[in-house]
Amino acid sequence: MTEPDETSMDLEITTHARSKPETRLWLRMLSTTKLISTEIRKRLRAEFGATLPQFDLMAQLYREQEGLRLGELSRRTMVTNGNITGLVERLEADGLVIRETPTDDRRVTVAKLTEAGMTTFSAMAEAHEGWLRDLMGDVSEDMIAALWRDIGRVKTSAASHLSGPAEE
Amino acid sequence: MTEPDETSMDLEITTHARSKPETRLWLRMLSTTKLISTEIRKRLRAEFGATLPQFDLMAQLYREQEGLRLGELSRRTMVTNGNITGLVERLEADGLVIRETPTDDRRVTVAKLTEAGMTTFSAMAEAHEGWLRDLMGDVSEDMIAALWRDIGRVKTSAASHLSGPAEE
DNA sequence: CCCAATCCTTTGACAATTCAAATAACGGTT
DNA sequence: AACCGTTATTTGAATTGTCAAAGGATTGGG
């Protein structure tokens, strides 16, 4: 066997319901996002030969066609700095991204999509959108809207209770 | 800087609202779970020197004190087979888990928690539950229950639209 | 003008991840 | 008992991930 059997995974405590509601919700969020991202990763790979982090990174660059500094990319993708370096290197090797250093601040590296990168990304983005509609096909529009709203609350709550610094 | 700035990440398309509702929801789910799991990983590391996958794996073993076969662990944790091997190896090196091969089927490896593993895990689990209550502190109980229910719908929908085999 | 903070990126060590291919053991059929 | 298909785990190559430390470049204060 080459991968976990998605239908019977049990991150969630199905047999014992003894966890607290927050924990129960968390386990369900985790298993759901894992399920969906595994599927999307699989399709991205099969149809475009791309990885999910590459797709995420390109999505950010597509929205800022003049390019982004690597640190900015790191922030937006929630990927650590060190990781961005290699990610961009590989995309550059594939001809989808170029790196350049502006003359006025030579500490900086700006990454931007090439023409090929833009073309490739827009095809991927369209497919991606369709996959999600497919995967969420049995969920009503109302429920999707409600989830979007309520998950926003969770995110806000979590963001304001982080241990690290970075709040003001 | 050593990590992304959690408060200003932008996996979500905050500026353009042009994405379809399913995509919008997906991006929000992703950024929220990433935000929370980064925080939990950080705390696990700081307070227990453990990683998140290790915690997940131990959680499964804690629920089945007689131990689990590696393939079963793979299914439950949604971690690929190849990955389980190394994960268990490292936990065994730390004395938290032992591996044994039953005599009646020597293809099989069963992993189970050691005494130390059980003690360690229960401390981690308790802390983990508290962290989640903390992080979700601003979300009402009703909303948590509703989210749990509705995310269940999303999960069921996604599970029944997977491309791979594994359905019947 | 220089020195010391500060900012941005890269590097290095290691863990987690996937996938595919290899290895090993079982089980039934002949 | 030798073979075959199946099942269980490991291995190997490549990517992604974190973290900490190091590197280079800029800026501001003395």
Tens digit of pLDDT for each residue in B43-68? Answer: 999 999 999 999 999 999 999 999 99
**Strand D nucleotides within a 7 Å radius of protein CB atoms:** 7-13, 15-21, 23-27
Ordered domains of chain A (ranges, CATH): 20-131 (1.10.10.10)
C1’ C1 / CA B7, Å: 39
Q: How far apart are CA B95 and CA B128, in angstroms?
A: 21
What 3-state DSSP class applies to A57?
Answer: helix
pLDDT, residue B1, reads 41
Q: Which residue has the higher pLDDT, B14 or A158?
A: A158
**Strand C nucleotides within a 7 Å radius of protein CB atoms:** 7-13, 15-21, 24-27
Whether B86 sits with its Cβ under 7 A from any strand C atom: the answer reads: yes
| pLDDT reading at A90 higher than 90 | yes
Whether A110 sits with its Cβ under 7 A from any strand C atom: the answer reads: yes
Whether B7 sits with its Cβ under 7 A from any strand D atom: the answer reads: no
- Find the mean pLDDT for residues A11-38: 85
Q: How far apart are CA B145 and CA B156, in angstroms?
A: 17
Distance from CA of A153 to the nearest CA of B (A): 7
Do B118 and B62 contact (CB within 8 A), yes or no?
Answer: yes
Q: Which residue has the higher pLDDT, A36 or B16?
A: A36
| pLDDT reading at A20 higher than 80 | yes
Confidence bin at B163 (pLDDT 50/70/90): confident
pLDDT, residue B136, reads 97
For residue A107, count other CB atoms closer than 10 A to its CB.
8
Structure token pair of residue A17 = 């319901």
Residue B112's alpha-carbon distances to A13, B70, B107, in angstroms, are 18, 10, 17
pLDDT, residue B14, reads 53
B77-127 pLDDT, tens digit each:
999 999 999 999 999 999 999 999 999 999 999 999 999 999 999 999 999
Of the candidates B41, B98, B53, B96, which has an alpha carbon nearest to the alpha carbon of residue B77? B53
Residue A68 φ/ψ, nearest 5 degrees = -135, 145
pLDDT, residue B21, reads 96
Average pLDDT, chain A: 90
Beta-carbon contacts of B137 under 8 Å, excluding residues fewer than 6 positions away, are: A157, A161
Lookup result for tokens 């076969």: B69
Structure token pair of residue A7 = 């239908």
C1’ C5 / CA B1, Å: 15
Q: What residues in B contact A130, CB-CB < 8 Å?
A: none
- Find the mean pLDDT for residues B21-31: 96
**Buried residues in B30-65 as b, exposed as e (16+ CB within 10 A):** bbbbbbbbbbbebbbeeebebebbbbbbbbbbbeee
| pLDDT reading at B8 higher than 70 | no
C1’ D5 / CA A3, Å: 20
Share of chain A above pLDDT 70, in %: 86
pLDDT, residue B19, reads 85
Q: How far apart are CA A116 and CA A95, in angstroms?
A: 7
- Find the mean pLDDT for residues B7-19: 59
Residue A86, exposed/middle/buried by CB under 10 A (0-12, 13-18, 19+)?
A: exposed
Q: What residues in B contact A163, CB-CB < 8 Å?
A: 39, 42-43
Q: What residues in A contact B15, CB-CB < 8 Å?
A: 63
C1’ C13 / CA A74, Å: 21
What 3-state DSSP class applies to A47?
Answer: helix
**In sequence order, what DSSP letters do the residues of B37-68 get, joined into one string?**
HHHHHHHHHHHHS--HHHHHHHHHHHH-TT-E
Whether A8 sits with its Cβ under 7 A from any strand D atom: the answer reads: no
From B75, B148, B152, residue closest to A8, measured CB to CB = B75
Whether A165 sits with its Cβ under 7 A from any strand C atom: the answer reads: no
